[in-house]
Structure 1
Amino acid sequence: MMLPIISAEERLKERHSAKVGLVGFPGVGKTTQLRTLPPKSTLFVDLEAGDLSVKDWPGDTVRPRTWPEFRDLVVFLAGPMPTASADQAFSKAHYDHVCATYGDPAQLDKYDTYFVDSLTVLSRLCLAWCKTQPQALSEKTGKPDNRGAYGLLGQEMITALTHLQHVRDKHVIYVAILEEKTDDFNRRYYQLQLEGSKTALELPGVLDEVVTLAVLKADDGSTYRGFVTGADNSYGYPSKDRSGRLDPIEEPHLGRLIAKCLGQTPTANHNTEHTN
C-alpha cells in the first residue's frame, strides 16, 4: 500500500468551499443573508422557527427540533465519521440507520451550501438533552450535576459542528447571536451567545471565516451595515479571514463574500433588502 499523497495538481482541481461563522446582534439582518444565496442549491437548517424575514425565500428547509434530530441530520449531510466506534454518534452504523430513515443521500447532491440558523438555539437544544444524560448526574448522590451537563455540552457541540464543517464540497454557514459583556475591570468585549463556553471559544478556530454583521458609522455620521472581517478590527468584534482576500469591511452580501474568499466571480445578485 502506497502513501495516499494528493498531488498539487489534484488538490488544485478539487472543489473548494468556505466554512463561515456569521455573527451579529439581534435584528441586524443575519437570517436575511439567506436571500443572498442561490435558493436552488442552498439548504436552510432552521432551528429558530423564526423565518419571518425570509418567509418567501424559495429554497428548501429542514427543521430539527431536538439535539438527536440535529445529530441525525449532521451524519446524513456529512457522512460517517471514520474515528467513531459503532456505538457512537456519527459512526457508520449511525449513518446507515439515518439513511434507512431519510433515504438516498444522493438527494443532497443539488446543494452547495448549508445555512445553519442558529447556533444560539442549537446550544439550548443540546443542553436540554445533556441534562437528561447519565453524565449530568452525580455518581455519589444521583442528583443533577451542572458541571457534567456543561462538560458534555461542549463535547457534543464541538464534535457535531466540526464533523459538519469537514464536508469538503459544501459551504457551511453557522449563524450565531453576538452579545456584549463587561469584564471585572468594566472593559467591554463581545462573544457568541451560546450555552457554555467551550463552543464559543473553540469554534472560531476551526472555521475559515468569522464575520460580524454590524451597523457601522461612516465618516459623515451616517450609518450602514457591513461585514467586519479583520481580526484586529477597532470595534473588538470577533472576526477572522483565513482566505486573506477580504477587505477589513465588506459589503453585507454573504454570497459575494463567499465567492471573494474563494477567488471566484459572483454569478448572481440576490436580494438583501429585508432585515430580520
Structure 2
Amino acid sequence: MSAAFSSTPLQIITADERMRERRGIKGVLTGISGIGKTSQLWTLNPDTTLFINLEAGELAVQGWPGDEIRIRDWDRARDLACWIGGPNPAMRDDQTYSRADYARVCNAFGPPNILDKYDTIFVDSITVASRLCLQWAKGQPQAMSDRSGKADMRGAYGLLGQEMIGWLTHLQHTPDKNVWLVGLLDKRLDDFNRPYFSLQIEGSKTGLELPGIVDEIVTLADIRPAEGAPYRAFVCTTLNEFGFPAKDRSGRLTAIEPAHLGRLMDKIRGPLAGPPAARLDFELPTNADTTQPGA
C-alpha cells in the first residue's frame, strides 16, 4: 500500500533567501597520534564551543575554559546526536532520531534551547565513537546467528555501518552549527607495499562513506620541506603531494593552511577570491592525449 499523500506545500527557497542563510561547517580533523588534534580546541571560542569528549584524553586541553560533555556508551552518543540535530521527519516514531525519539531525549537532557549558545560542536573522537558503536552492535539480536545462536560478526559489522552512517548524517544535517569530528590517522601499506593513509574507524563502510557526508576533511600534518625547518600545518585539498586524506567543498582553501582551526573556519566563510566558475578548470593540459581509442 502506498503512503498517504502529504498536503504540505512544497517550499521553494529563493536565491536571496539561500544566500542569506548561515550554514554550519561540517568537517573531519584527522592526523596521527600526538600531532595535536585535540589541542585545536584552544583555537576556538570557549564561550560558543561545546566539547564532546569520548576519549577521556583531555589532558592536552586541561584548563580550556569551555563546556564539556563526557560520553562513554553508544546509547548516550546517539541520544546526544538527536538532541543536537533535532528530529528527522523521515523517521517513523519507533525509529531513532524520529520526532518521538527527539521528545524523549529532550525530556531527559533538557529543552533544546540549552544548545543555542554554542556555534561549534567539537567531537573527540570518531575513532572512539566507532568502537563504542561496535561494542553496542555485538550485543544486538542482529549480531547473533539464527541457526547456531552464536555471535555473527558479519551482522555486527553490518549494524555498525548503519548506525555510524545514521549518526554522522544526523549531525551533518544540523543546520546552524559547526560540527568537527576528530579522527585518528593510520599509515598502512597496500598490496604493492605502497604507503597510504586512512582514518582509523571500525568497519569499512563508515570510512568509505564519510568523505561524501562532511564538507571538509583536513589533515593536521608534520610538513618537512626540502629546505628549512619542519612545521605543522593543515593539508586541505584532495590533490596534495603528501597523499593525506583531504577535501574542501568551500573552494576557499589552499593545499596547505596554518594549523589554526578557528582561522580556518573564518576563511571558509570568507568571500571567494573570484567568481565560483573561475575555480573550476575546464581545460585539458596541452600535452594531454585526446586521441580516441581505436582511431
Q: Which residue of 2 aligns with 1:48?
A: 55
Conservation of the 8 A alpha-carbon contact between 2:221 and 2:235: yes
* Equivalent pair of 1:17/1:262 in contact (CA under 8 Å): no
Structure 2 vs 1, CA of residues 90 and 2 (structure 1 numbering), >3 Å: closer, same or farther?
closer
Which of 215, 227, 231 is the matching residue for 2:222?
215
Letter in 2 for 1:233: N
State the identity as a percent: 56
Is 1:198 aligned to residue 200 of structure 2?
A: no
Given the alignment of the two structures, is residue 168 of structure 1 paired with residue 167 of structure 2, yes or no?
A: no
Q: Distance in 1 between matches of 2:238 and 2:90?
A: 33
Distance of 1:40 and 1:125 partners within structure 2: 29
**TM-superposition CA deviations, 1:230-256 (whole Å, max 9, x none):** 101111100001101001100000011
Instruction: Tell me, in whole angstroms, the C-alpha distance in 1 between the residues paired with 2:9 and 2:101.
Output: 30
Aligned residue-pair number? 264
Distance 1:12 1:244 in 2: 16
User: What is the deviation of 1:23?
Assistant: 0.4
Equivalent of 1:246 in 236, 246, 253: 253
Q: Structure 2 regions of 5+ residues with no counterpart?
A: 1-7, 272-295
How far does the alpha carbon of each residue in 1:155-199 deviate from its partner, in whole angstroms, 9 at most, with x for none? 000101110111110000010000011111111111000110111
Deviation of residue 262 (structure 1)?
1.2
Q: Does 1:109 align with 2:116?
A: yes
**Residue 2 of structure 1: how far off its partner (Å):** 4.3
Looking at structure 2, the residues matched to 247 and 233 of structure 1 have their Cα atoms a distance apart, in angstroms, of 10
Query: Are 2:186 and 2:200, in contact at CA under 8 Å, matched by a contact in 1?
Result: yes
Secondary structure of the equivalent of 2:180? strand
- 2:116 and 2:92 map into 1 onto residues whose CA distance is 27
2:83 partner SS = helix
For 1:249, the aligned partner's letter is I
- Per-residue CA deviations over 1:123-179 (Å, capped at 9, x if unaligned) read 000000000000101111110000000010000001011101111100000100000
Task: State the AA in 1 paired with 2:138.
Answer: K
Corresponding residue SS for 1:259: helix
The letter for the 2-side match of 1:32 is S
- In 2, Cα distance between equivalents of 1:178 and 1:221: 25
Q: Is the 8 A contact 2:168 2:213 kept in 1?
A: no
CA distance in 1, matches of 2:194, 2:110: 52
Determine which of 82, 86, 97 is the counterpart of 2:104: 97
TM-score (normalised: structure 2): 0.88
**1:74, 1:160 within 8 Å by CA — same for their partners in 2?**
yes
Shift of 1:93: 1.1
Give the match for residue 89 of structure 2: 82
Q: Secondary structure at the match of 2:40?
A: helix
TM normalised by structure 1 equals 0.94
Structure label with greater radius of gyration: 2
Query: AA paired with 2:83?
Result: F
Q: 1:132 aligns with which of 122, 135, 139?
A: 139
